[in-house]
Amino acid sequence: MEMTVQAGNVLDTAADLAILATYEEVGLPDALAGLLEADDYKGSAKQTALLYPRGAVAPRRVLLVGLGKQEDLHADLLREAAASGVQQAQKLQAAQATFGVQGEMPLEEAQAAQAIAEGLALGAYRYLRYRTNLKPEQSFAVEAATLLVENANDAIQRGFATGEIIARGVSFARDLVNTPGADLPPAALGDAALAMGQRLGLKVTVLDKAELEAQGFGGVLAVGKGSANEPRFIVMEYGLPSDESGTICLVGKGLTFDSGGLSLKPNDAMTGMKADMGGAAAVFGSMQAIAELKPKLHVVGIVPSAENMPGPDAYRPDDVVTTRSGKTVEVLNTDAEGRIVLADGLHYAQQYKPAAIISLATLTGAAIIALGHHAIALMATDQPLAERVQQAGDATRDRVWQLPLWQEYREQIKSEIADIKNIGGRPAGTITAGAFLAEFVGEYPFVHLDVAGTAFVDKPRKTYEQIGGTGSGVRLLIELLTSYAG
Ligand code: BES
Ligand code: ZN
Ligand code: ZN
């Protein structure tokens, strides 16, 4: 879909579908008011009405989309309005769509344009790789989406272009999450990183099993042992170290499939576990977007990747694993594998003396019990960093909610026979997983994001989402990273 911004008004511009977002308190243009029965459409948030103006205005069809009260407007409503518009265009097989806001361009112009671009692109996202006999209306793709504004100034153009880049990053993450484990084993995830590096000039290193053995990545190796698909350790580097903003490390859990291993998951809990690389996908999507946005920053994306399977050589409950840091872990449940691979990833991050380490992982089912699907669980060793991440989450509606990481919780993962054990019992399962990770970051400021509830959804939460991978974390990370840029 080609996306552009132009000066103009949706009602004066020819289009197969004009999408017009309106507020409750701003009246409809005269040309449209007569096409509606008085109270059918009020412009309340997310309300829509499809009109056939029959020559009264330039476009063939007009879709009104409500934004609610102007004073309550959040960029997310624009994202949703744009997405529901473009989805209507898909349904109607309207090749050319325009989008406009009735009344003042709200918020900061650049921010509004960015949200609209994200909504248009993400609303149009579909994962069709394995669909072989789609009906034309199922595979129809809108050719062009144009944002029409009174004055298509630089700020708006830049915001719109940024939104397109972020949406591409989110879509990349969704594609990775939606791909079944059989078609995306750790080696393929490594290849995807190398291809991205080639495409965008990132420095990418992928360590294979022999290199992991030589360099003592005991956590990743242990988790990967049960699978015929060998593990990988992926490092993607953007920019150069500088004193101004320091280095930000993003560490993503890259379990391409999690069967639970010998502590096998029951069937209902195992389906969906192709998405257990949702943290890694957020890192991939963010690295891609950062490489395209080119801020002045040094960002290192780190993805320990393995497939957790039962097999003749699988790691066992009762085993003690020596991680790359030298710390030993008593394995009491092989299904608590994410923290074990992340231990190596977090320890690896320390070599950069980072200003911040952010981990992202589909780490615990308990995060879904605590927060459902509407918030990422955040834990932190550094409160200023936590607040910074929280703000980025609020601004982008990739929202987070903080849980405590008190010393008391660390007691739950003490082991008799090793330095630490990999499960802390039923109480506070998300927090004890976070406490485990915090053992491997040294003194560096650390935020952990548990995306178990948000990376993959059975039911879209927003119009700009579809069933499956959401790209959770990408919008947040880009907002956060660009806030560090000098
Ligand atoms: N990948 C799962 C967590 C998960 C569950 C992600 C549901 C997305 C949806 C993780 O590896 C896991 O199995 N965690 C266990 C930990 C337990 C054994 C301490 C869990 O949450 O049950
Ligand atoms: Zn698991
Ligand atoms: Zn897992």
Q: What is the pLDDT of residues 111-147, one digit of tens each?
A: 999 999 999 999 999 999 999 999 988 899 999 999 9
Asked if 339 is an active-site residue, the reply is: yes
Q: Which residues lie across from 377 on neighbouring strands?
A: 401, 450
* Active-site residue, selected from the candidate residues 225, 253, 274, 339: 339
Mutate which of 364, 422, 432 for ligand 1? The one with the most ligand atoms within 8 Å of its CB, which is 364
Mean pLDDT of 283-288: 98
Number of neighbouring beta carbons within 10 Å of residue 14: 11
pLDDT digits (tens, 9 = 90+) for 237-271: 999 988 778 999 999 999 999 999 999 999 999 99
pLDDT at 26: 84
pLDDT digits (tens, 9 = 90+) for 48-65: 999 999 989 999 999 999
Structure confidence at residue 103 as a pLDDT band (50, 70, 90): confident
pLDDT at 427: 97
Nearest CA owner, ligand 1 atom 7:
365
**Residues with C-beta less than 6 Å from any ligand 1 atom:** 258, 276, 333, 335-338, 362-366, 423, 429, 452
Q: How many whole angstroms from 460 Cα to the centroid of ligand 1?
A: 22
Mean pLDDT over all residues of the chain? 97
Atom index in ligand 1 nearest the CA of residue 263 equals 18
pLDDT at 186: 99
Query: Quick check: pTM over 0.75?
Result: yes
Asked if 69 is an active-site residue, the reply is: no
pLDDT digits (tens, 9 = 90+) for 7-47: 999 999 999 999 999 999 888 888 998 888 868 899 999 99
Q: How many whole angstroms from 451 Cα to the centroid of ligand 2?
A: 14
* Active-site residue, selected from the candidate residues 46, 265, 316, 327: 265
CA dist., res. 253 & res. 231, Å (int): 12
Atom index in ligand 1 nearest the CA of residue 364 equals 21
Could you tell me which residues come within 8 angstroms of residue 187 by beta carbon, excluding any fewer than 6 positions away? 208, 229, 230, 232
pLDDT at 38: 65
Q: Where are the beta strands (DSSP E) in 400-465?
A: 400-402, 420-421, 446-450, 456-457
Q: Determine the residue type at 360.
A: L
pLDDT at 27: 83
Q: How many whole angstroms from 339 Cα to the centroid of ligand 1?
A: 10
Cα-Cα-Cα-Cα dihedral of 469, 472, 474, 475, to 10°?
120
Mean pLDDT of 196-215: 98
| pLDDT at 425 > cutoff 80 | yes
pLDDT at 34: 85
Mutate which of 363, 413, 432, 449 for ligand 1? The one with the most ligand atoms within 8 Å of its CB, which is 363
